[in-house]
Structure 1
Amino acid sequence: MSERVYKTMSRAGASSLVLGIILMVTGITAGIMMVVNGARLLNRKSDIII
């Protein structure tokens, strides 16, 4: 019985760790993309104003 609990906890811990890393990388990537797109919009603003 205790072996099952140990294996279940090991799998849950490993999956939580992997999911956390994936979410962190996704968040950092999304933030960088938003900064780059915002800078582009501000840079091209003068093309729109007549």
Structure 2
Amino acid sequence: MRRGVRRRSPGLLGLAIVHALVTAHGGRMELRSEPGKGCRFRVLSPLLRIET
């Protein structure tokens, strides 16, 4: 890798897309990070009620 050029993880773009989709539908994402153990992401979305 050339000096001064940062390489981004492809996973970051995926998370940005998921976040955009989730928030566009009224949901949210949560992140929990523990040093040495990794990260946990939760996707929370509202329920859709269909009247019959």
Q: TM-score, normalised by structure 2?
A: 0.34
**Bigger helix fraction:** 1
| Greater relative contact order structure (CA < 8 Å, 6+ sep) | 2
Q: Which has the larger radius of gyration?
A: 1
**Bigger strand fraction:** 2
